[in-house]
Chains A and B, each alone.
Chain A
């Protein structure tokens, strides 16, 4: 892949070091930088190499000085009205740059670093006491970035550069000497941090996201060992070290809110530990926030495997955190797919250690993400119900499932793309598509994208089954058919397939074909075609001829045109 880094600073000093850095990360990536002071030309000139390299990521790292000019150094030269109009001008300039890139590089993710001035305001304390001081101008500009993002929500990623500087401190990041000599503002000792910051966005865009954070209990969620110290003596409370653990739990809760599952994997007596989780007055992460609880004396490897199985996700979707280096080492060796974080030092430092886990960082929040954890709680209720019915048909009927099936609905593009990126198990072809790919399918008249939105008496599951059908003159070809693993066994896939076959009949199509591409993970989908009346005509290729078999299921279908 290719990343283009557009800068207002002179990048010559650090280009080579960045290449070495990327090399050490072992990823195959080409990096293009604009020549010094030619960033604007690179964007306005549509024949410039910036467009020719067709970058997958365009990262815009501009200094506020470049956008606002002289006003940064001499705020009071301009009256309030002029300061406001300077700011408006800069906003217009910047948003036109972003629009140009967005319109001319339709498949490129645009990363915008937010703004901070490398020096303190020259006005001292006066700055925040006047209207449109430097800080207010910069804040207003940073807020404006969200407006820009709202114009191209799927393509733009805002990247929090100013927090990076705040955390490290201006004086450690910048070296004005070098700025005066070579128009590169950064201290050499800051390069590594800057590179990691740039890299974090590459990994956000390219690496698969983790789905579940598995936590240990003793000395991770609270201080001390519950089995020895007892509920009254563990460290968890509103001062001192106990407060640090409470803080850490509040931090972890945010992952749950963002749609990442939390699970427990701890060697303890179940009753001792669950008593703390349910009854300790200062506990934040109560039972309902955990999708799986493995509190027993089995080894952690077995328990982690069980968690992945319970949640129907791959082992490689887990992040495991534990304070015990031996446990961490064991997991690393036995389950190298799991990302292991060994928490060290005082608990007040745990948050910092977690912040460096890029694979848990998300930049988009979809409705499904926000609802997912809620849906899993409902899943538990569904499972309880499953046990109380004598046969499966009875159970499926009792769920009162309703499917809302739509074809080529453009508002579903993001979710559809996300499903192709994330679904590994019930996925017949495992083809990954970007939002742009999906948008192309929606408009090229050669494809139908089917989405199935499943509701049952316990709640709304969202869009959980999806298919992309390629339309040929005489036949339809199922290019993609996948289902979110949390609804496996509910026959929603049958409901969608039936709808596709019905539509094929209406369109006078005599043959529908499909393919099964085997991967390490998609075993649950292997017998999909054979179960639904298709016959195989070559290895992994299946077809069904008119009149199509319509299979029984218990989902009430609603089709809106």
Chain B
């Protein structure tokens, strides 16, 4: 699975990280600042950038780069 470079950029910028440190296993558990409030903010930024809307039921659960990438692909398909 490839991570969309735009997604890497958004996440890196949001948490003030280096892009090379972002990979599929980057997740809420590994980044201290990624709390539930920041999670919503991040999701909203991703939605804006990709022009998509995640369904309400999955928003709380897509808490890793892999899960987010996966959902983006589903919505874009």
Report which A residues bind B (CB closer than 8 A): 12-13, 177-178, 180-182, 184, 188-189
> 8 pairs across A/B with beta carbons < 8 Å?
A12-B37, A178-B44, A181-B40, A181-B56, A182-B37, A182-B40, A188-B48, A189-B48
A-side contacts of B48, CB under 8 Å:
188-189
B-side contacts of A188, CB under 8 Å:
44-45, 47-48
- Of B45, B47, B59, the contact of A181 (CB 8 Å cutoff): B59
Q: Give the residue among B53, B56, B60 with the most A Cβ atoms within 10 A.
A: B56
0/1 interface trace, chain B 18-47, chain A, CB 8 Å (1 if under): 000000000000000000010011001101
B50 to chain A, nearest CB (A): 13
A-side contacts of B45, CB under 8 Å:
188
A172 to chain B, nearest CB (A): 13
Category for how many chain B residues contact A: 10 to 19
B40 touches A13 (CB 8 A): yes
A404 to chain B, nearest CB (A): 61
Question: Given A188-B47, A188-B48, A189-B48 in contact, is the A13-B59 Cβ separation under 8 Å?
Answer: no
Alpha-carbon distance between A450 and B58 when the two chains are bound, in angstroms: 69
Alpha-carbon distance between A189 and B47 when the two chains are bound, in angstroms: 10
Alpha-carbon distance between A434 and B60 when the two chains are bound, in angstroms: 50
- For B59, the closest partner residue in chain A by CB is A181
Alpha-carbon distance between A479 and B53 when the two chains are bound, in angstroms: 62
Alpha-carbon distance between A178 and B60 when the two chains are bound, in angstroms: 11
- For A191, the closest partner residue in chain B by CB is B44
A45 to chain B, nearest CB (A): 25
A-side contacts of B59, CB under 8 Å:
177, 181
- For A14, the closest partner residue in chain B by CB is B41
Given A12-B37, A182-B37: 20 more A-B contacts, CB < 8 Å? A13-B37, A13-B40, A13-B41, A13-B44, A177-B53, A177-B56, A177-B59, A178-B40, A178-B44, A180-B56, A181-B40, A181-B56, A181-B59, A181-B60, A182-B40, A184-B40, A188-B44, A188-B45, A188-B47, A188-B48
A510 to chain B, nearest CB (A): 69
- For A17, the closest partner residue in chain B by CB is B41
Alpha-carbon distance between A178 and B44 when the two chains are bound, in angstroms: 9
B48 to chain A, nearest CB (A): 6
Alpha-carbon distance between A189 and B48 when the two chains are bound, in angstroms: 8
Alpha-carbon distance between A275 and B60 when the two chains are bound, in angstroms: 69
Q: Give the residue among A180, A182, A189 with the most B Cβ atoms within 10 A.
A: A182
B-side contacts of A12, CB under 8 Å:
37
0/1 interface trace, chain B 33-77, chain A, CB 8 Å (1 if under): 000010011001101100001001001100000000000000000
A-side contacts of B37, CB under 8 Å:
12-13, 182
Alpha-carbon distance between A441 and B24 when the two chains are bound, in angstroms: 68
- For A187, the closest partner residue in chain B by CB is B44
A-side contacts of B44, CB under 8 Å:
13, 178, 188
B-side contacts of A177, CB under 8 Å:
53, 56, 59
B34 to chain A, nearest CB (A): 15
Q: Give the residue among B44, B53, B56 with the most A Cβ atoms within 10 A.
A: B44
A-side contacts of B40, CB under 8 Å:
13, 178, 181-182, 184
- For B37, the closest partner residue in chain A by CB is A12
- For A10, the closest partner residue in chain B by CB is B37
B-side contacts of A189, CB under 8 Å:
48
B-side contacts of A181, CB under 8 Å:
40, 56, 59-60
Alpha-carbon distance between A184 and B44 when the two chains are bound, in angstroms: 12
Alpha-carbon distance between A178 and B56 when the two chains are bound, in angstroms: 8
B-side contacts of A184, CB under 8 Å:
40
A-side contacts of B60, CB under 8 Å:
181
B32 to chain A, nearest CB (A): 17
B-side contacts of A178, CB under 8 Å:
40, 44
- For B55, the closest partner residue in chain A by CB is A177
Q: Give the residue among A12, A177, A184 with the most B Cβ atoms within 10 A.
A: A177
- For A180, the closest partner residue in chain B by CB is B56
Alpha-carbon distance between A149 and B50 when the two chains are bound, in angstroms: 45
- For A188, the closest partner residue in chain B by CB is B44
